[in-house]
Amino acid sequence: MADYNNIVFLHGQFMPMSEAKISPMDRGFLFGDGIYEVVPSYDAKLVGFGLHIERMQNGLDAIGIKLNMGVDDWRNIAQNLIEKNGKGNLGLYLHVSRGADVKRFHAFPENIQPTVFAYAFTIPAPPIADKLKVKQYSVTSTEDLRWKRCQIKSTSLLGNVMHFQQGREAGVDETILYNQRDELTEASACNVFVVKNDVIMTPPLDNQLLPGITRNMVLDILRKDGTLHIQERPISMTEVHAADELWLTSSSKEIAPVVELDGQPVGNGRVGDIWQLAQTLYSANKHNY
């Protein structure tokens, strides 16, 4: 799926992707001046929808885009896209840019309409919590060279794109990032978890990382289960390299086990038991969000 016959939503209407047009003066195009979300849907069941829309609203507020749309409006668009494009494993991409002006000028223009765009694309089936069958990830690491407002899910993704590409060119799936203090931040399109001696750790929320919806759901589900220790705290790269297990989390991957970091095995180089437990709990509980 995701071809030019796809039905997409733009400027308040549903239309084939081939007919969807935006102005070259759109500030999303010129400046990356916008906010986006990706919400997973399996068999027409949206995961974490309210949490995604809340984060989108926080992003819009943070950059001063005024949009008169609530969670029900977004849900209506999402459900229409699912109906029009077929069920299955879908990512719903929701995008709001500040809109199109008549000139290219940095200051926020007055009285322009935000551009609202949404479409559906195929995502992989969610992982089955079986450590022998799940896809195993390899990653590299590098210093985080993005901007200082990574908590905003901005459409200005060039920094993330360049870090992701670095990993691709190194022949791995993702790039894990660390700050100038050698502390883990996140990955180019995922949050990161570290497991050591049965303790599950992830960096605390601040301007250095996106407040991932999957991250928050994983933490909430594990805390409610109560069997594992959890810490949200700064994690040095020395600790990351000494981890028993390393996970990536994102809406389309859920919890992805990493078995190789910078060419070295993570722990014993195999998918771990704690991953299996965490993904089992996540699979069982994700539709409660």
| Angle between helical axes of 49-63 and 213-225 (0-180°, round to 10) | 130
Q: Are strands 264-265 and 254-261 parallel, antiparallel or unpaired?
A: antiparallel
Q: Of these, 6, 141, 154, 251, which contacts ligand PLP (CB under 6 A)?
A: 251
Query: Quick one: 8 or 190, whose CB is closer to ligand PLP?
Result: 190
Nearest distance from C-beta of residue 31 to ligand PLP, angstroms: 19
Q: Do the Cβ atoms of 81 and 7 come closer than 8 Å?
A: yes
| Active-site annotation holds for 153 | yes
Catalytic annotation, pick one of 21, 133, 153, 196? 153
Residue 224 Cβ, how far from ligand PLP at the closest point, in Å? 18
Q: How far is CA 250 from CA 78, 210, 255, 287, in A?
A: 19, 11, 7, 15
Residues 6+ apart with CB under 8 A from 181: 234
Using CB under 6 A as the binding rule, whether residue 249 contacts ligand PLP is answered as yes
| CB of 94 closer than 8 Å to CB of 73 | no
123 contacts ligand PLP (rule: CB under 6 A):
no
Phi/psi class of residue 88: alpha, beta or left (left: φ > 0; alpha: ψ in -120 to 50)?
left
Complex with ligand PLP: residue 15 or 63, whichever CB lies closer: 63
DSSP assignment letter at 226? -
Q: How many residues bind ligand PLP (CB under 6 A)?
A: 14
* Interface map 186-215 toward ligand PLP (x if CB under 6 A): x--xxx------------------x-xxxx
Smallest separation, CB 113 to ligand PLP (Å): 26
Query: Smaller CB distance to ligand PLP: residue 115 or 154?
Result: 154
Q: Which ranges of 64-179 does DSSP label H, i.e. alpha helix?
A: 71-85, 158-169
Site string for ligand PLP, 146-165 (x = CB under 6 A): --------------x-----
141 binds ligand PLP (CB under 6 A): no
Enclosing H/E stretch for 157: none
- How does strand 115-122 pair with strand 89-97? antiparallel
Candidates 250, 274, 281, 282: give the one binding ligand PLP (CB under 6 A).
250
Minimum gap (Å) between residue 145 Cβ and ligand PLP: 13
Q: CA torsion sign, 145 to 114 to 211 to 272?
A: negative
What minimum distance in Å lies between the beta carbon of 40 and ligand PLP? 8
Q: Which positions are catalytic?
A: 153
Binding positions for ligand PLP, rule: CB under 6 A: 38, 160, 186, 189-191, 210, 212-215, 249-251
